[in-house]
Structure 1
């Protein structure tokens, strides 16, 4: 409208002040840019100046490419080369349906020309499925000419448009399924809407968003999310595809979790002419005999950080009026605190109840509503960087003013506002961690206890993976504990737990605390024997630092024996019984535990700190 007025009325310099003249100039420039973009987009679609690229989808079980996802690129060297810019422009000018139709044709032709094996995944917005350009039969005719059957095509629903009419989308998808197409949903985990999409659409394939894949080998929360999605997919006969795989460790964790398929830059980048066979480095990675050690829900090295508690709340600026803040609280019932942020940096926190209480007093609202919100702001809120542990946050809050627990706290990413955490959520997470620790971790060392230890043994046995079960036991521990006291005894147990953890590979080896002074380490590392030798050497040196010089000199300490007589007891030493297991040597963790315990008894017969190595045959150990 403003542009129309500009064209009809010739403007002179004295007709407008500087600000109005600048506005008109900007409007003219914006209209000129939009017109140029529209002309470019129309020419791209009409002349089909688009290039199809393909990214393979790997089947972890067969080590083959079972499908390819078709993607599109605009003209090289133009602002519309990237697909995000290309489709955003199409949305601005109402040309998405035309663009998607041309993209499909180009992708089908390129896929057929390259004679790629397996299925073809094509991206489609839900709205495009009802488009006459997709349903008028021309697509089927094109597929027939290219000798591509619809049974090889998977329609991947993208969530760029919110679906509200699920009965209609189900009817539409029934039409395509009747023709032989299969359905996939994209970016599972981005929001609750595509969780509902899963339940309503019942797709044959489910793609998990790369956010949950990147770092899954180390992140307990991501691992548990993907595990739950994998189990859910199995109940409804859907295949899970992990997107965005970029690290070796993540790839192996997904493989060992049982996820069916994966794609990402680690496997192969999108390219116009992709490989039809899996590359050598990737094939070697998948053939590794070791089994990934899954991140644990609790235990040492698995610290929960306050980032898990960060909830994004749209902040206000320091010059926001109190009336605006009051309306935010009135309209958003769940909003407990409102962050005040300037240029990305937190400045304070406004508590809901304190704000409403002040405004409820006589004349206060009239007096303060047009003043900046900093007047009622806590200018010194608790602020934690995202990597702070929840234990650190809980300790600081418990030592701070009482209002910090109800106000909540601000979470930052190197000083930049990230979100707000609530005291209620913090206490809930700490309680859950304590419950998990009591169930699955030893309270003294925080190492996994019997339940996760047994689960990992069974996991190794099912996979037929070779490993070493090393039973670690402290010799002469009771006499030391009685003489030096239980606190010193606990220190020795913690020292051994630390040595085992620090001298194992967290990606390959699993260290568990059975109880008391007994530990079990499950080694897949090739240099496991050298690691055990280092543990024995370091244990002896640390024991030497814990006893008195006199006891160290005489090699023991005087204490009563079982007959009540004074006797010299040896200093604590460490015995490790190592049991080598291969595929078929044992069927359950009970067999492994029994054989490892027998091996430990052989090790304890050797004087001093020692390593005894045995091999297991059908549950029986042999030296």
Structure 2
């Protein structure tokens, strides 16, 4: 049960609320639809239980006794951020309610135990749907994240990344070394995305990855990923293959052919000039951009923003 009061409510009224509602452990103090404080049951009774506490606080407004600096979060703040803030605050406030605001006004409260239960459930779900090789979120979580960003009116870029000639490498060098390449790619992407606040990285499967960045300015990100990938990928080949610049393998149709050293393709779409209606629209479009990107045969990126197409290659 959520309970809120005015900062001018008397201490005697607060005492009655707690007495009549034994399950309520905290009361939010709200003024003009904004949370301005919090009164927790334990602290309230510890104050009025002192020698002069009853006489002092019963006839005084509650703002003189409330905590004026409770934890307040916006409705859209990720649970992980809230948990981090809760677990690092002072011990005496560890179990104080968390106050939630939505659209700038008071929305409700969340008990710490409820927050921790939801956080654990979320972590279990993420683990359940994670890619077993890289530990990155898999298809289910990726789709949920894409639906989330297209439903909001906020800038974002969707990056679809995959490797050129990975199947040929896998066929020649084996799955064990192929898995090492995928782990290497995941490591590169995680490190570069670290510098973009609230970014997301998922592993669709095989050599396909998806990243979401809350910005339109991702050219530098693409360039840096390509530069590091191209510099280090040769370490996964033997000296002879690196020297000649290709491996000899059988293609998908069973024909023998020469396949160049792997490259990474990065297809990017954003909502700078277009609002996507659903996940099928955006994933279908980014797949088309990816096909164009792979025609270059080496590491390449294309950013599609619906007014102009900017394509750059790092050789």
How does the TM-score come out when normalised to structure 2?
0.66
How many Å separate the matches in 1 of 2:121 and 2:301?
A: 28
In structure 2, which of residues 257, 263, 271 is the aligned counterpart of residue 567 of structure 1? 257
How many Å separate the matches in 2 of 1:591 and 1:598?
A: 11
Alignment RMSD (CA, Å): 4.2
Structure 1 position 479 matched with structure 2 position 168: yes
Which structure 2 residues correspond to residues 234-383 of structure 1 after superposition, within 5 A? Answer: 242-243=98-99, 261=106, 297-298=122-123
In structure 2, which of residues 80, 90, 93 is the aligned counterpart of residue 219 of structure 1? 80
Greater C-alpha radius of gyration:
1
SS in 2 for 1:92: coil
Question: Which residue number corresponds to residue 533 of structure 1?
Answer: 223
Q: Residues 535-566 of structure 1: CA distance to partner in whole angstroms, max 9, x if unpaired?
A: 11111122111101111111111223457665
How many Å separate the matches in 2 of 1:484 and 1:522?
A: 31
Change (3 A) 1:66 1:260: closer
Question: Which residue number corresponds to residue 8 of structure 2?
Answer: none
In structure 2, which of residues 267, 271, 276 is the aligned counterpart of residue 581 of structure 1? 271
Contact 1:508–1:525 at 8 Å: present in 2 too?
Answer: no
Q: Residues 468-487 of structure 1: CA distance to partner in whole angstroms, max 9, x if unpaired?
A: 11110111111110000011
How many Å separate the matches in 1 of 2:254 and 2:167?
A: 15
SS in 2 for 1:600: helix
Question: Which residue number corresponds to residue 547 of structure 1?
Answer: 237
Question: Which residue number corresponds to residue 377 of structure 1?
Answer: none
How many Å separate the matches in 2 of 1:566 and 1:67?
A: 70
Structure 1 position 452 matched with structure 2 position 141: yes
Change (3 A) 1:526 1:591: closer
Structure 1 position 91 matched with structure 2 position 49: yes
Change (3 A) 1:554 1:526: same
The structure in which a higher percent of residues are strand is 2
SS in 2 for 1:550: helix
- Give, in angstroms, the shift of residue 507 of structure 1: 3.3
Contact 1:578–1:614 at 8 Å: present in 2 too?
Answer: yes
How many Å separate the matches in 2 of 1:260 and 1:474?
A: 47
- Give, in angstroms, the shift of residue 91 of structure 1: 2.0
The structure in which a higher percent of residues are helix is 1
Contact 1:560–1:566 at 8 Å: present in 2 too?
Answer: yes
Change (3 A) 1:70 1:477: closer
Question: Which residue number corresponds to residue 614 of structure 1?
Answer: 304
Contact 1:595–1:616 at 8 Å: present in 2 too?
Answer: no
Change (3 A) 1:295 1:554: farther
SS in 2 for 1:103: coil
Which structure 2 residues correspond to residues 445-524 of structure 1 after superposition, within 5 A? Answer: 445-505=134-194, 507-524=197-214
How many Å separate the matches in 2 of 1:475 and 1:499?
A: 16
The answer for unaligned runs of 5 or more in structure 1 is: 1-54, 59-64, 73-83, 105-120, 125-157, 159-185, 187-206, 226-240, 244-253, 264-293, 299-432
Contact 2:34–2:106 at 8 Å: present in 1 too?
Answer: no
Aligned length: 255
How many Å separate the matches in 1 of 2:172 and 2:289?
A: 29
- Give, in angstroms, the shift of residue 69 of structure 1: 3.8
Contact 2:202–2:210 at 8 Å: present in 1 too?
Answer: yes
Contact 1:556–1:568 at 8 Å: present in 2 too?
Answer: yes
Question: Which residue number corresponds to residue 13 of structure 2?
Answer: none
Q: Residues 236-271 of structure 1: CA distance to partner in whole angstroms, max 9, x if unpaired?
A: xxxxx844xxxxxxxxxx67x8895389xxxxxxxx
The answer for unaligned runs of 5 or more in structure 2 is: 1-27, 87-96, 109-118, 311-315
Structure 1 position 557 matched with structure 2 position 247: yes
